[in-house]
Amino acid sequence: MEPANEIKSNKYIVTRNSILISKLNPSIKRFWLPACLTDHPVCSTEFIVFEPTRPENKSFYAAAISSNNFQNYLMAHVTGSTGSRQRAQPKSTLDFPMPNPSESAIHKFCSFADPIYAQMECCARESANLERLRDTLLPKLMSGEIDVSKVEVPTPPNSHLALVA
């Protein structure tokens, strides 16, 4: 995440229902379900933004768009030369033969997948928080501003691992 004013290109508005893939170098699979932690979330136009017409089915479409079948389809419809100049074409993605199971099957899938995607979002946020904490504390530790030499690390109860000094 970065502030919108740091995105120098045009921008697309995204929502909690958005599914994003990168247009650039589609041989590298890049797929996001944006957390939308601000009032006006946006992304660069270097992304293709998909919005399911039925938001309650987002997990189903997210799984289809992140599938190897979609990735292979995307790679078959790129423009540009090899390497870093390849671009996925948003219009060509609309011709992808999207799976079309029954509404009941989609609902069952989403009931299973929604909590998994929610946990993935939670883990991504926690990872970002830990990264910021590390980036804040590590320079202070390395400079000696923070001294941890006398900190005792408690052993968790019922731990099956021993600390080796």
Alpha-carbon separation of residue 130 from 4, 120, 124, 125, 145 (angstroms): 23, 15, 10, 9, 20
Percent with pLDDT over 70 in the chain: 88
* Surface-to-core class of residue 107, CB atoms within 10 Å of its CB (0-12 exposed, 13-18 middle, 19+ buried): middle
| Angstrom distance (rounded) from CA 14 to CA 41 | 6
pLDDT band at 84 (very low <50, low <70, confident <90, very high): low
List the beta bridge partners of residue 88.
78
Per-residue pLDDT at 26: 81
Q: Which of 21-25, 54-58, 64-68, 133-137 has the lowest mean pLDDT?
A: 21-25
pLDDT band at 15 (very low <50, low <70, confident <90, very high): very high
| Angstrom distance (rounded) from CA 17 to CA 124 | 17
Q: Which of 59-63, 77-81, 140-144 has the lowest mean pLDDT?
A: 77-81
| Phi, psi dihedrals of residue 50, rounded to the nearest 5° | -105, 140
Per-residue pLDDT at 115: 96
Which amino acid belongs to residue 25? N
pTM over 0.85, yes/no: no
Residue 153 has pLDDT above 90, yes or no: no
Residue 108 has pLDDT above 90, yes or no: yes
| Angstrom distance (rounded) from CA 126 to CA 136 | 15
